[in-house]
Amino acid sequence: MNWKLPVLAFAFALMFAGSANAQTLVTGVYDQFFPFSLTDIIYDSCNDNTNWQAGDCSYIYACYMVIPKGDYDINHALIKECKDVTDQSSASIHVQFIPPRGKIYAVVPFITQMHYTYDNLLFQWNQPNVTIPKRQVEAIVTLCPDGEILKDNLCFHAEPFCLDTFNTNMCNNPYDLYFLDLQGDGFANDYGIPSHACADRDQNKVCDGVASMTCSDVNANGVCDAVDTRITQVWCVDSNQNGVCDNVESSGTFCRTNFNPVCDTVNSITYPNDCFAMAAGVTSYTTGLCAPLIQNLCFADTDCPPPCNGVVGLCQNPDSKGNRCFYAGQCNPSIIQCSIDTDCPAAPCVGISPSCDGSTNRCNYNGQCITQPSVPPTFWDYLVSIWTNFIGYILTSLGW
């Protein structure tokens, strides 16, 4: 037994508690909502066609990240997430996670504005200018729940015990000792328990009268009673040894997933194997895939409208398997004649301008359609440009 382990864990708990001033203590799930008002953020929404077609608009995102103290690389954030809150008057950021034990983290919710401008010469959106108009920060300290002790950044159930070296039922160890249930089985496999150890759950320095710290085994089957219960919950009878519990097998048909197709010739349905066919109630089938069905898709030439001028649609049945549409001909090129720019039809989209070529008297369309900007998948990379100032805000706010 490592007798120093409980002492180290106890000393660490005291040290950690001393550094937790003005910080939120978390012993389980961290679950917090952070509200933000967005009414004072002035911007032109990229969801409004007029704004993005003018080449100047913004998206608003509500984000959060969790940064471990001492490691402020944005790529090392424990978790990070954003959601689009453009056009909303308020946003609520929900941060919920189970933090690793024994560390200090900064929970940083913030609002991000991504401002886009369009380059009319290159016909593309410039990289967004990212600002953070609103931000909050909270420091959290992760500790173990009552009755547990930290070991290797994990929490384990701690059971007080003591040493009754002189067999007087009185503890004679000079400091508090704990068994850590590392295996979750009631200490049965964690330590070699000395004969003079006894339980002292109320920590009154008097043995509780328990002979050992081993688990209860009333049925003497060599398995802790608590484990017996867990085994019973997942154990089942499999009399035919086919890998399926009998009580489950009796409730339906279970088929192997090997692919050896058969065809229900009556309904022209292919099943992966004969077991699936019989499970569907099919009694007559052939080996192999069903032949594809060709149905009547048209009944007259009018059922085959041509896709463009110059092409003719015909309804034909050349192989006696069903009427289908066939097309003959070639689409005519579309040439628009003009004398002046106003003779040309309006541009199909914003970003393209029509003009009349005086040498050919044909309409030309210059430019490229402007499409609505989208947030790039490398969203977090854009925060790097302002990250130094952001880290300064975090450190200042937390006094780190």
Q: What's residue 230's pLDDT?
A: 57
What's the pLDDT at 154? 72
The confidence score (pLDDT) of residue 69 equals 87
- pLDDT value at position 194? 67
pTM for the predicted model, two decimal places: 0.52
Q: In angstroms, rounded to a whole number, what is the distance separating the alpha carbons of residues 328 and 316?
A: 12
Please give the pLDDT value at position 364: 85
Q: Which domains does the chain have, with CATH numbers?
A: 21-142+376-398 (2.60.40), 294-334 (no CATH)
Residues β-bridged to residue 271: 262
Give the per-residue pLDDT at 372.
93
Q: Alpha helix locations (H) across the chain?
A: 5-18, 49-53, 225-234, 246-249, 274-279, 387-398
Query: Which residues fall within 8 angstroms of residue 292, CB to CB, at 6 or more apart?
Result: none
List, as one string, the DSSP characters of 148-199: EEEETTEEEEEEEEEE-TTSSSB---SS-EEEE-SSSSTTTTT----TTEEE
CB 276 within 8 A of CB 255: yes
Rounded distance between C-alpha atoms, residue 337 and residue 344, angstroms: 8
User: Rounded CA gap, 225 and 215, in Å?
Assistant: 7
pLDDT at residue number 28: 81
Taking the chain (400 residues) in runs of 10, the rounded mean pLDDT of each run is 30 30 77 95 95 95 92 88 94 91 88 94 91 92 77 76 79 82 63 70 72 55 60 64 68 74 86 86 88 73 78 84 81 68 85 86 84 85 84 87
